[in-house]
Every structure is written in C-alpha cells, then in structure tokens.
Structure 1
Amino acid sequence: MRPIVSQGPVHFIGLSTPPNALQATRILAVRHGETAWNRDTRIQGHTDIDLNEHGRWQAARLGQALRDEPIAAVYSSDLKRARDTAQAVAERHGLPIHTHIGLRERGFGRFEGHTWDELALRYPTETLAWRKRMPDFAPPGGETLVQLRERVVAAVEELAQQHLGEQILLVAHGGVLDVIYRAATRLELQAPRTWQLANAGVNRLLWSPEGLSLVGWGDVSHLQVGDDEDVLDERSA
C-alpha cells in the first residue's frame, strides 16, 4: 500500500469543487505513536496504554517534522497514547492540548486486552463478524462501526467549525483515522481497507460545510520507515 502524499497541485478527493480557503479548515490527522500492545497486535480500544520507547521516538520525530507547520490548535483523544503524541507537537508550538472524547478509539469491550488469536478462540462468531466489518456489529460491551462513525464525524465537524481559515492537529487512533478516511473519500464502512494507518504518520484533510476531503495520506517520511514494523492497522488499535 503506497501512501498518498500531496506534492505539487493539490487535488481534493471527495469534493466536486475546491472549497474557499476562508470557509474551510485544514486538518492534520495523526495516529498515536506505537505502544507495546501495538507490537503484540493486542486490541487496545479504550484501555489506557502508554507509548513504548519506539512510540516516544516516533512522537519526537513527529514534533520535529511539524515544527514549522502553522497550527492554530492541538486536539487529542483523552487516552494517554494520543495525548503524549500530541504533546510532542504542542510543546514545539507553545500550544495547550485540548482533549475530546469524540476522538477516542472505538470501544472494543471484552475484546480489549486480547490478541487476534485469543479472540478467535474465545469469541469465534463475534470475531468473524468483526473481521467482516459488519457495520452494526458491536463486540460484547463495545461500539458498532456505525456508532464510531457518528461519534468521530461529529467531533471532527465540531472542532473544524471553530477554525475556519486555519489549520488544526487532531491526534487519535487507528479506528478513528479509518473512519475519517472513509468519510473524506465517501467509502462505505464495510469496504475493505487498502490504505495505511501508520503510527505517527501525517494525514492531511480539508473540512468545509460540504464535508471532509482528502489532501494527502500516509506520510511517514519523517520516520524513515524501512519495513512494515511501524505500519500497523486497526487490528491493533
């Protein structure tokens, strides 16, 4: 899967015509840095896991990469792995971090803390429904994809409306970024995912009253990734 990195003329995927810059908000959307549970392909969901050493390195690299970006505000999920990633950027700009529960990862309920293999043994039927991306399926005690989409899109719209003509940073999670990508490209929730959700990767979008549009996706050049170890998908969210 090759990243979509904007270079040269910008094409807005998802909009019929480019929006007026003063009536739009530029968004930098970033997934948190790596955690030990990412390494283990263990479901995190709402479980509050710290960044591991590599994740802290990724966050530092992210902060350096975005140091010259004009960022008006920094928003983050209230979970530590996202907050600590956001902090690496916020401190470079002298900005506070505003947490928003709408940017939290999907709630996975009883799936949380288990690896894929463990889930297949404990919850075979539920795991199959999850892997098929059934929009109305909820892990026991968790959220459906439909609920996640409604929550995330509402949060992004709420925050973007406050910063028309500006650029903001949103630091969140794999499942959240997956929903944002689908909203920007008008893809269905059940469509197979063919794009990366890289830890500490930079994704660029535009919000206008017409909706979200995609500008660039999956930029990990600041991480100098040589293999797939830093590119983990929503399976380890």
Structure 2
Amino acid sequence: MAAWAPPSLFAHRPSRTERKLIILVRHGRTEANHRGLLLGRADPRLDETGIVQVAALADYLAQELIGRKINAVVTSPLLRTQETAAAIGHALAVTPEVDERLIEMNYGEWDQLPVDEIAPEVWKQWRVDPDFSPPGGESLAQVQIRVGQCLDDLVRRAHSPDPDSPGGVVVAVSHTSPIKAALVWALRGSPELAWRFRLSVASITEITLGPFGPVVTRFNETVTPSVG
C-alpha cells in the first residue's frame, strides 16, 4: 500500500484572476513632494507631473484588471488622493468613495517642513518609539490602529457574497504612512516596522487575501519613472 502523503498546500491554489486583492495606490506627485517637504494634512493638488503619472497608472490598472470584479475604489479625503482616485475610478468605471481612515499621518507643526530641517535626534526618537508624535500631530501607533481597522473592513469588501464567483478587488488610494501601516498590518508587525519601507509617488502595492492570511504580492511598483 502506498505511503500516506499530506495534501499539498497548493492543491487548490487560486489563479491570478481568482485571488482577492487589495491594491494600495500612493497618489501622484505634488509640488510639495517635488520640493522634499514633509506632507501631511496640507492639501495641495497634483502637479503637472503627478497628473501624467496618475493617467498612466489608471490606464495600466484598467488593462490589468480587465474581467475582474472591482468591489470598490476608496480614497483618502485629501485632494491629491481624490484626483488620483478620480482617474482610476474613471478608467475602471467605478465611483470612488472617501474613507477618512486613509488620510495621511498628521504631522502637526511639522507639516510642510523640509525633511532635512528635522533634527537627527528627533528622527532617531521617532523611529524607535511608535507612540512619539510631532507637536500637535499623530503617532505611528495611532495611524496603525485606524488603518488596521480600515483594512479589516476592506477585506470584507473584497470577498464576494457568492462563493462561486471570482475573487473581488478593492483599490485604496492613500499616502505614504497609511500604505506603510497597511504593509505592517499584512505582515503582523509592530508600527515601527513602517520605517523599513520606502514608497514612490504614483506607486502600486498589492496585498493578496489568501486562505492563510494576507500576503504582500507587489511592492512599490511604478508605471512611470519615479520623479519624487
């Protein structure tokens, strides 16, 4: 009699078109990004380069997601993300929805400061203490809580109520800190792990929702050359 062998973990591995996905998009470039400013709740529009970037990104996603069920396009309330989401929503024929939990980290009094004006000792404290916050701002731990709650909701939205239908896709348009927090959520890490990631403007990061939990399947993919 043949020896017993455990069933393969990949025996029923879903195909690419069957996977449930959360696609995280960082907004296109703004003048503040181009100038190297710390950009939080300040609300500039995309600059000319950013507009070109998001148009290319939207076309790319539309081609990639042909035949996929787009369950939602959600966005931060800030202009740079809403403009990015509008281009994506138009390309996918989905009306974007605003989710306040996707808003950028609140940098308080440091908002729009040149990054190199923040003292090295402050950067050091910020990197090791998830409860540290800029004056009048928000901590990494606080960002992690709200983004984690948002991702839990997006997971439910990516699952179709029909078990026989292909996996659904949710596109979330956000900012550097919330997307990093989403990666930490997927990796089940601690908030300070966010400092280990670097994200380009107009970039795509993808989380696949598998039977054993979330898996990061794409990170910081850009369609146009990164310029800021």
Question: What is the TM-score when the length of structure 2 is the normalising length?
Answer: 0.80
Which position in structure 1 is the counterpart of 2:191? Answer: 189
Q: Does 1:118 align with 2:117?
A: yes
Q: How far 1:24 sits from its partner (Å)? A: 7.2
Q: Report if aligned partners of 2:22, 2:158 keep a CA contact under 8 Å in 1.
A: no
Task: Select which of 26, 29, 47 maps to 1:52.
Answer: 47
Rounded to whole Å, the distance in 2 between the matches of 1:109 and 1:139 is 6
Between stretches 206-215 and 171-180, larger displacement belongs to 206-215
CA drift at 1:94? 1.8
CA distance in 2, matches of 1:27, 1:39: 28
Structure 1 moving runs of 4+ over 3 Å: 17-21, 124-128, 191-196, 207-211
Equivalent positions of 1:214-229 (< 5 A) are 214-220=216-222, 222-223=223-224, 225=225, 229=227
CA contact (8 A) 1:126 1:139 kept: no
* Cα offsets for 1:59-87 (capped at 9, x unmatched): 00111101131323110001111110111
The aligned residue for residue 181 of structure 2 is 179
| Alpha-carbon distance in structure 2 between the residues aligned to 1:178 and 1:217 | 10
**CA, structure 1 residues 219+46, in 2 after alignment: closer, same or farther (shift >3 Å)?**
same
Q: Tell me what 2:6 maps to.
A: none
> Residues 136-215 of structure 1: matches in 2 within 5 Å?
136-164=131-159, 165-191=167-193, 193-207=195-209, 211-215=213-217
List per-residue Cα deviations over 1:47-68 (Å, max 9, x = no partner). Answer: 1111111111110011110113
Amino acid corresponding to residue 31 of structure 1 in structure 2: R
Tell me how far 1:114 sits from its aligned partner: 0.7
Query: Any idea what SS the aligned residue of 1:151 has?
Result: helix
Q: Which residue number corresponds to residue 101 of structure 1?
A: 100
Residues 132 and 139 of structure 2 are in contact (CA less than 8 Å); yes or no, is this contact kept in structure 1? yes
1:90 maps to which residue? Answer: 89
> What residue in structure 1 maps to residue 163 of structure 2?
none
Count of matched residue pairs: 205
> Residues 192 and 167 of structure 1: is their aligned pair in 2 closer, same or farther, counting only changes over 3 Å?
closer
SS at structure 1 position matched to 2:171:
strand
Q: Give 1 or 2 for the bigger CA radius of gyration.
A: 2
What is the identity percentage for the equivalent residue pairs of Structure 1 and Structure 2? 27
Q: What is the alpha-carbon distance in structure 2 between the residues aligned to residue 153 and residue 192 of structure 1? A: 13
Q: Secondary structure at 2:192's aligned position in 1?
A: coil
- 1:10-89 to structure 2, matched below 5 A, reads 25-68=20-63, 69=65, 70=68, 71-89=70-88
Structure 2 Cα separation of the partners of residues 129 and 195 of structure 1: 18
Task: Give 5+ residue unaligned stretches, structure 2.
Answer: 1-8, 160-166
SS at match of 2:183: helix
Deviations along 1:13-45, whole A, 9 cap, x unmatched?
A: xxxx67986x97311111000111111111111
Matched residue, 2:3: none
Could you say what the CA RMSD is over the residues aligned between the two structures, in angstroms? 2.4
Higher relative contact order (CA 8 A, sep 6+): 1
Q: 1:192 to 1:168 in 2, by over 3 A?
A: closer
